[in-house]
Amino acid sequence: MPPATMQAVARYFHVLSEPTRLAILNELRQGERNVGDLAHICGYTAANISRHLSLLAQQGMVSRESKGNSVYYRITDEAVYELCDVVCDNIVKHLQRQQESQTALLAEVSKHK
């Protein structure tokens, strides 16, 4: 993979590495929202949400549309959800394996008491 491509991939994942941006994307999964709605739902200021939306838009994950006095955002890169689903499924499997290991260890310790 050429260095420029690796840099682009790193920027894409960097945008997804922030919990607030993941919360925004999760809310946009339900449909388009304006900054005020997202700020209220996510519990942050409109300025903070706008900053995050700007980064998401720079990566082509969301787009914006003016409607009257409000600007609405929507997902433009549906692949982001496929990626998040793969990662979330992997994390769930990892946590389940950890839980199974801990349960087996506790059972072994209890057996030797």
Q: Residues 32-37: what's their mean pLDDT?
A: 95
First and final C-alpha spacing in the chain: 55
In sequence order, which residues have a C-beta less than 8 Å from that of residue 21 and are 6 or more positions away?
15, 52, 55, 56
Angle of the 19-28 helix axis to the 3-16 helix axis, nearest 10: 80
pLDDT bin (cut points 50, 70, 90) of residue 113 is: low
Q: What is the pTM of this model?
A: 0.79
CA distance 50 to 99: 39
> Strand pairing partners for 33?
73
- pLDDT, tens digit (0-9, with 9 covering 90-100), for 68-108: 888 999 999 888 888 888 888 889 898 999 998 888 888 77
